[in-house]
Amino acid sequence: MGTQPNHLNERGEVHMVEVGEKPATRRLGRAVGYLSARPDICQAVKNGQIPKGDVLAVSRVAGIMAAKKTSDIIPLCHPLPLTHIDVQIEIESEAFRVEAVVETTAPTGVEMEALTAVSASLLTLYDMLKGMDRTLEIGHIVLLEKAGGRSGHFLREGASHVDHSDSHQ
């Protein structure tokens, strides 16, 4: 861990950090976040009283497309050739849980891409449910896992390890 943002150059000004000397390696980022909602809304979506097919599909697509726009949304992120994006939504009793996995072969990681996918997916769910529930809150967005690169494998305490090599098609 550093003691200064590496997005600041020697003049204390932001730049997009040089990564050209680092080798392109396979990297994975996995993040999660929640949209807390009224239990009756969660239940109604879960059991299909509110038609959930399109709602969940649109939210997933929004996450996938936002991951590809990460370097356009977050000013100092590098444009990267993403090789895999998967967004999974689970309906819990009082929240929608969104988890995103992003992979690339590149000289820098895809932590921000996974977090951006989760954020956009949650905002899209919020947009579709906001006419029914004014208690909506987006939160608990954290990085679950990071693999590849010099800093080694990171697995957030309490996060389960997913064998991504099985989940590919």
- Subset of 27-56 contacting its own copies (CB under 8 A): 33, 50-51, 53-56
Judged on CB neighbours under 10 Å (0-12, 13-18, 19+), 81 is exposed
Q: How far apart are CA 114 and CA 85, in angstroms?
A: 8
Q: Was 78 annotated as part of a binding site? A: yes
Q: How far apart are CA 129 and CA 15, in angstroms?
A: 38
Q: At its nearest, how many Å lie between its own copies and the CB of residue 25?
A: 10
Binding mask 91-130 for its own copies (x = CB under 8 A): ------------xxxxx---xx--xx--xx--xx-xxxxx
Q: Is 161 in the site for its own copies (CB under 8 A)?
A: no
Neighbours of 167 (CB within 10 A): 11
Q: Was 76 annotated as part of a binding site? A: yes
Residues of the binding site for substrate: 76-78, 112-113
